[in-house]
Structure formats: structure tokens, C-alpha cells
Structure 1
Amino acid sequence: MSQLRTTKAGLVACGIICVFIFLYFRNPGPEEAEEEPTHPAVVDCGFYPDELCSALFDGKKAAPQIAQFCNSPHNSEVLAHLHTPRNCSRMARRLHFISRPLSAEEGNFSLAYVIHAHEELAMFVRILRAIYAPQNVYCIHIDEKAPKKFKSAVQTFVDCFGNVFLSSKTQKVAHDNLRRLQAEIDCLRDLVHSPFQWHYVMNLCGQEFPIKTNKEIIRYIRTRWRGKNITPGVVPPLNTKPKTGRSSPKPSPNENSYTSPNTRFKQKPPHNLTIYSGSAYYALTREFVGFVLTDPRAKDMLQWSKDIHSPEQHYWVTLNRLKGAPGATPDAGWEGHIRATKRRTEAGDGHKGCTGHDAQTTCVYGLGDLPRLIRLPAFFTTLEPSTDPLVAVCLERWHRLKALQQAEVPPEPHWPFPQQSHFSGQSHH
């Protein structure tokens, strides 16, 4: 497809997220309207013709100048425009939020989410839009270190949705200490005490995007796990099994190998617990969350976890291996496809390494990974729109199209994203 090597008409339309956030959250006074400069990073963020995205999913390459065409706006520039939305229902329609369950199966099986929000407002809106369903419920934890304007903007945004709320407590989250784990437990407590009757809860950390639809996630949980928790992990191999004491952090494990962030523990585990290590990501039943919030072993392990690095890599999987815990899987290992994670050095899995870049030796997927990415069994993957914006744009359009193809109800006019022709440069539904 020769069009992939050009940046002709059709690549100049403004992006959905950038434009709608700008238009529907902005409420400047007269002086601000006269003096405020236009930020190129906002208006230059474009979305791409469907032909281009389809070609990338087929394994065709895009020229570097195309891949870099859409630069994510700097948060300070976006946040400078955010004020109270003028009309919540209008904003939700213009942002293409799904407004009713897409099937009876989904309507009868509600999911809950814990989402960590940092500073990427556009990515936060994109993620929420992709996983949003009116029967689900979402607890948002904003890092206490986040800018005040970001906090205010997110609060204003979530106030438009009755099933989205901010955590009642905030933490200064760091990825190697107890505060991330505590922030999730705070959100889980809020979710249990909320009026929503959800069945499973999952966690997301700011830049993760779904590669499975809501229906596919529900179907996998109901048919493969049947009331069991999903916490991939194992007892560490003997040559890496932690001892007493504390050490420097190491890169996080991926979903099918073990790299301990702790070579020593300071104190022996409470209640003579066998400490497992694994993924920080999970799918937990509501009953298990109640157990975590009330059981003495869970409380004592949380207290014990303050002295170790990355305790979330031990906490969930260890408690879920306890016999008698609701939905426990005492004999499980790395089963459960929560995150698509790959180390750049891995080989032998049918593809050529990693076309993106490294983040602590773990691959952040790039354009060349798209054909493989959409075929993985995992629920979510990690993206960096500021590095490879086209990956997020195309994956979002592909995800929405698949969700609507699976829908068992007539679509509302605002659910599909506008289609763009690379040839005509015009948008249509």
C-alpha cells in the first residue's frame, strides 16, 4: 500500500481525544479567550485513516514520518484548558462512550476496575472509554503527587458518570513500595462498600489498554475460572528464593518467568505463610476481596509487606494460594492471561523479538508488534502513546470495531468512531 509512505491528505484531521477534551472541558473567560495562545501539540494530534491501521495489522510498515505524525499533547498544555464540562451527556456522546450493555451476558455480569491515574489525561480518557460499560464500576486512584489541575480535571470528568468515582484515599504511589498496594486496597474497600453488585475486579496502571473486549473477558472468566481468582505466580525457584533481610529492587517479572525483586526479606512471613511471587495484576472475586479486607492473615501480611520491595508481586498470589480462601487456587502457577508481557531477549515464540523499546528490559510494544498483539490471549497490554502514538490509535479503533461486531443490541449512532478515507480525506459514519 503506497499510501503508507506518504503523509498526504487524510492524516490532518484532529484526533478524537485531543479535540473533544479541548472543546468540552474548556470554558475560558473573555480575557483568557483573547490572550491564550494555540498549542500546536493539541491541534496536531490526529487520528488516522482506517486503511492505514488495517495495513499495520496486516504487517505492512509505515514510514517513520507517519508513525511520528501524531504527537501526544503535553499534559500541562491540555490541563490548562480543563474546566467544568458544559453538558455531560453531550460530552459522553462526542467521546463515543458506550451507553448501555452490548449483550444480556454482559449486563448480567458486572466487572469492577481499580485504575491508577498519574498525569496522562488523554490516555486515561482513552482507557476508560475502551473498558467502559454502564453496568461496570470504576474506582480511580489519583497519585497524590499528581498536579492539582490534573486532579481537578479527572474529578470533573468522572463526575459525569454515576459508576465512576475517585478513591476515598490517596497515596504517593511508588512502584517498589507499599503505597501502590495500599492504594489498591483502599479502592477495593470503596468498591465493596459501593452499591454496585460487581462479580470480579481487575487493576490497571495508567498506560494499559485492552486487547480483549468486555464480552471476551467475561466469557473467559466464566468458562475457564468459574468463581476462581486469577493471580499468576509461583513459589520462587531455589536459586532465587528470598531469604531474610532487604535488597535493591530488580525488574518486575513477566507473566511466565520469575525475577525476584527481593533477594532477602527482613522478617519471616506471618502465620508461617509460604511466599509466592508473580504478577502484580489480577482478576479477583468479590468474595475474595472481602476476605482480603477482613482476614487476620491478610492484614498481617500487609503489615509485613511494608519492609519489602514491590509487595504487590507477592501479596495477591500468596493469599490466593491459601486453602479455604474464597476462590483460591492453591495449585495454580502462571495460568491466567491478564497481561501481555514480553522480555526483549525472549525467543522461539514465532516472532522476531520486539519492535518497540525496552522498559527495564521488558518490551513496550511497537507498530511492528500489532499483528501479533491482537492475537495474544491476554486481556491487556502496556502502551506508551508519547513514544508510539499510532499503536494506541489503531489498537483503539480495532478494539471498538470488534466490540460492536460482537454486540447483540442495535448500536447507538455515537458508538462507532468516525471512519476516515485516506483517499477522500473525509469523515463519515
Structure 2
Amino acid sequence: MLQLENAKYSFLFCLGICIFICSVIYIKAKSSDIPRAQNHSLSCHPFPDDCQVLLPSSSSTTRWQRTACREVSNFKSAPNCAWIKTELHFIMEPLSREEEDYPLAFIITIHKEFEVFVRLLRAIYAPQNVYCIHIDLNAPLVYKASVKSLAGCFPNIFLASASERVTYAGFSRLQADINCMEDLVRSPVKWRKVINLCGQDFPTMSNLELVRYMQGAEWRDRNMTPGIKQPTSMRYRTQRQHVEIRGVYVVPKGIAKKPPPHNLQIYFGTAYYALTRAFVEYALNSSVAKDLLEWSKDTYSPDEHYWVTLNHVKDAPGSNIHGGWEGNIRAIKWRDQEGTAHQGCNGRYVRNICIYAIEDLPWIIKKNSIFANKFESNSFPEALDCLEQWHRHKVLQQAMVPIKSSWQLATEVNISGASTVG
């Protein structure tokens, strides 16, 4: 009988240990789903001197120091939305009546670097706007799940209902934007203009500045699609058929294409735009737009001719038939413009576009475009850290509502480190 009692107590003891171990494992698993605060060797220290000179300080004895130091990793399961909004510093209130009355739509096409995407999104987020996120079908499953989880925390952020396997310079890139446009026209948000972005963009204008720019005399009822009549050097893109090797590259077939439909003059310009809602509806429904879209399927980089060509059609709402390169839509340092439009790239060139380093920021700020392109967090993290704080400080300085502490990405500290200015 004594042996039976001992066995029973031993069993209960072991059971208790097992329950304790399982509880610890469960708690750890749950807590791992929330991004943790980690000390960046760079971003949690005071900004470099090259950045400090760009950030307005209240005193010569203070320096800016980041408080937004969390490394945002992929979410393993549904995140805590209250934590996301507060700890990742999203601004959850309209900052002015002017912005609230002029909601914007954004199309963001992404495929990598979840943390950079989160930082872009929080920089442009406003509760009155609406955001369509297109995730490349080539993106890893954990990346797609993380973006979906994040979007689920906000009623005005959604994933595109149809996704493409995007190929550089392929028709799939244009189709991705159109997929989002079809979703956005069904959105309950009465947005006024739509702006397209990629995951390596970052804003230089605040939302208030953007609203004012879109409502200025030059652009109030017009589309912004910088470009010119197609130069001779670019005609190979549309005079010969091309085939898209999905997800890889685009190659010429050597077969001549028929002339463009409706006797359209083809233009060449940027793939980036700011379009009126009426123009988007025209692009989705008019026979001219549909025929041009079909004709463009076997061209090279059709997003660089489609929007600007359509915007030179007289009957298109908000068209700019005499327009050229007007519209300060992107700050980009092209390699072939070195010595003219800019004095060189302090980072590195990728596909002839500068990946910005911190030394490039004065040029970006002076140019005062809507967005700047491109940034990489791994190559030059200080550039994004610095521009992000410069932008958030400007946003909060312009706000017409009380500022919440969770909206701050950095604080001013005495050089001695003894106190915080705020």
C-alpha cells in the first residue's frame, strides 16, 4: 500500500512538472509572435552628425536620439493590434480638418523587407486615407502572412484581391496597379487621388503638404504623369513584341508590333503617378484605355508609357495633353544624369538608380519631391533612420491636434544625457 501511495505522489509530481514546462513553452510561443524591442547598434544611438545637422533642435546643447528602436520581424501569427498601433508609432487620428476632407488612396507594390514596408506605411498612414497592398506572388509565404496580419489591424488597409507574379519591366507590374485600382473604386472611402508606391520609396512631403500640393492650381483637377513623346531611343520598347518570362525577365521576340490602337501617340515617362478618381474610372472602363492596355501586353516596361499616353488623350478626365516632365513626383538619382541633375550617388547604383546613403539626404530634402526612391535598410540604414525622423518631426510640427507620445520616433536629449527635452 505504501508503494502505491509513493507511486501516486511521484506521478502527481511528474504531472505537475510537465504542466509547468508546457505552460512555459506556451507562454514563450505566444510572446514570440510579438515583435521584440531590440537594440539596433545604429538606430538606438544618437543619430550620426550628418543627420543631426538636418534635424531641427530646440537648443545647441541637445541632440536627437531614436526611441523607435524596435526591429520588426515577420509575425508568426495574428499580432496584438493595439500593440502594433502604439508601439510601432502609427498616427491614428487625422492631424487636420484639411487632410480629413481630402482623403487619398495609395497603391503599394511589395515583395521583400517587411521592416522597410512597415516604416513606409507608418510614415504615410492616416485614418482618412485608404491603402491597397499588392504582394508579389514570388514573395515568401511568411512575408505574405505577416503583411496580411498587419493589414488586418487597420480598417482602411487591405490586400489586392488579385496578385501577380511581378517581372521587372513586365506587363505584370502594370497589371498589379490595375488590380488595386479595381479594388479601390469599390472602397467606401471617397478618395480624391491615387498615388502608387514601391517598397523602397519613402515620403519627403507630409500628408498635409501632399494634400495642398494636389489641390494647388496646377494639379487640382489634373493627373500627374511626367513624360514626353516617346524618344527614338525608346521606340524599341513598343515597336517590337516582347515576351515576359514570369518572375524573371522580359526578352524581345523580334516580331514587329502593329501600330497603337486609336491612332494614339505613344509617350514615355515615369511609372509613378498621381491620378484623379475620374481618370482611374476612365482607365478601367473606356474602350480606348482597354485597347491600349491589350496592345501594351507584349511591350517592354509598359507602365512607363501606359499612364502618360492615356493622360494625353483629350477625352480622359483630368488629362494633361500639353504636359511634359512637370510634377515633382520622385526624387531619383539616375546614373546617366550625374553631373547635371545631381552630383553623384553617395550610396551605390542598382539598375542605374542610386540607393541612397545619408550623405544624399540634403539633395533629397532640397528637391522636395513627393517621395524619394530608393532606400535599402541593410546597405545604408542610417539614411532611412534619418529621413524617417526628419519626416515625422515635420508631420508633428504641422499637426493641428494635440500630439501623443506614441507618435514620436525620437526625443531630444541633452548632450550630457542627463535629461530629455521631448
Same fold (TM over 0.5): yes
Report 1:340-355 matches (<5 A): 340-349=331-340, 352-355=343-346
User: Structure 1 residue 296 and structure 2 residue 291: aligned?
Assistant: no
CA contact (8 A) 2:206 2:395 kept: yes
User: Structure 1 residue 385 and structure 2 residue 377: aligned?
Assistant: yes
CA contact (8 A) 1:124 1:206 kept: yes
For residue 48 of structure 1, report the CA deviation from its aligned partner. 3.9
Unmatched 5+ stretches in structure 1: 1-26, 59-70, 250-260
* 1:14 alignment partner in structure 2: none
* 2:312 alignment partner in structure 1: 321
CA distance in 2, matches of 1:126, 1:35: 21
Counterpart residue identity of residue 240, structure 2: G
For residue 29 of structure 1, report the CA deviation from its aligned partner. 3.2
- CA separation of 1:392 and 1:291: change in aligned 2, threshold 3 A: same
CA distance in 1, matches of 2:195, 2:323: 18
CA distance in 1, matches of 2:229, 2:254: 14
- CA separation of 1:419 and 1:52: change in aligned 2, threshold 3 A: farther
Counterpart residue identity of residue 203, structure 1: N
CA distance in 2, matches of 1:162, 1:239: 46
User: Structure 1 residue 270 and structure 2 residue 264: aligned?
Assistant: no
CA contact (8 A) 1:47 1:393 kept: no
Report 1:239-318 matches (<5 A): 240-242=234-236, 244-246=239-241, 266-318=257-309
- CA separation of 1:105 and 1:238: change in aligned 2, threshold 3 A: same
Q: For 1:115, what is the secondary structure of its paired residue?
A: strand
* 2:103 alignment partner in structure 1: 110
1:304-361: per-residue Cα shift (whole Å, max 9, x none)?
Answer: 1111111100110010100011000000000001111122343555863221111122
Counterpart residue identity of residue 366, structure 1: A
* 1:405 alignment partner in structure 2: 397
CA distance in 2, matches of 1:35, 1:238: 56
Q: What percentage of residue pairs aligned between the two structures are identical?
A: 42
CA distance in 2, matches of 1:152, 1:337: 34
* 1:201 alignment partner in structure 2: 194
CA contact (8 A) 1:72 1:389 kept: no
Task: Give me the CA root mean square deviation.
Answer: 3.2
Count matched residues: 375
* 2:60 alignment partner in structure 1: none
Q: For 1:129, what is the secondary structure of its paired residue?
A: helix
* 2:12 alignment partner in structure 1: none
For residue 104 of structure 1, report the CA deviation from its aligned partner. 1.2
- CA separation of 1:171 and 1:349: change in aligned 2, threshold 3 A: same
Q: For 2:384, what is the secondary structure of its paired residue?
A: helix
Pick the aligned partner of 2:77 from 60, 80, 83.
83
CA distance in 2, matches of 1:31, 1:221: 48
For residue 165 of structure 1, report the CA deviation from its aligned partner. 0.5
Pick the aligned partner of 1:94 from 70, 83, 87.
87
* 2:3 alignment partner in structure 1: none
For residue 377 of structure 1, report the CA deviation from its aligned partner. 2.8
Pick the aligned partner of 1:161 from 142, 154, 163.
154
1:66-114: per-residue Cα shift (whole Å, max 9, x none)?
Answer: xxxxx997x9xx33x532123x233201111111111111111010000
CA distance in 1, matches of 2:388, 2:253: 36
Bigger CA drift: 343-352 or 275-284? 343-352
- CA separation of 1:265 and 1:142: change in aligned 2, threshold 3 A: farther
Report 1:125-140 matches (<5 A): 125-140=118-133
1:370-395: per-residue Cα shift (whole Å, max 9, x none)?
Answer: 11211113111121111100000010
Pick the aligned partner of 1:228 from 222, 225, 229.
222
Give the TM-score normalised by structure 1.
0.79
For residue 244 of structure 1, report the CA deviation from its aligned partner. 2.8
* 1:369 alignment partner in structure 2: 360
1:159-180: per-residue Cα shift (whole Å, max 9, x none)?
Answer: 1101001111111011211111
Counterpart residue identity of residue 384, structure 2: A
CA distance in 1, matches of 2:233, 2:341: 29
CA distance in 2, matches of 1:425, 1:118: 43
* 1:330 alignment partner in structure 2: 321
- CA separation of 1:40 and 1:194: change in aligned 2, threshold 3 A: closer
Q: For 2:305, what is the secondary structure of its paired residue?
A: helix
For residue 39 of structure 1, report the CA deviation from its aligned partner. 11
CA contact (8 A) 2:358 2:386 kept: no
CA distance in 1, matches of 2:43, 2:224: 38
Counterpart residue identity of residue 219, structure 2: W
Give the TM-score normalised by structure 2.
0.81
* 1:356 alignment partner in structure 2: 347
1:16-61: per-residue Cα shift (whole Å, max 9, x none)?
Answer: xxxxxxxxxxx9835758999x999986563342574643538xxx
CA contact (8 A) 2:328 2:370 kept: yes
CA contact (8 A) 2:43 2:382 kept: no
Q: For 1:92, what is the secondary structure of its paired residue?
A: helix
1:120-170: per-residue Cα shift (whole Å, max 9, x none)?
Answer: 110110000000001100000111111111111111111110100111111
CA contact (8 A) 1:173 1:179 kept: yes
Counterpart residue identity of residue 328, structure 2: H
Higher strand proportion, which one? Answer: 2
* 1:396 alignment partner in structure 2: 388
User: Structure 1 residue 219 and structure 2 residue 212: aligned?
Assistant: yes
CA distance in 2, matches of 1:146, 1:326: 35
CA contact (8 A) 2:242 2:298 kept: no
Counterpart residue identity of residue 334, structure 2: R
- CA separation of 1:197 and 1:33: change in aligned 2, threshold 3 A: closer
CA contact (8 A) 1:229 1:329 kept: yes
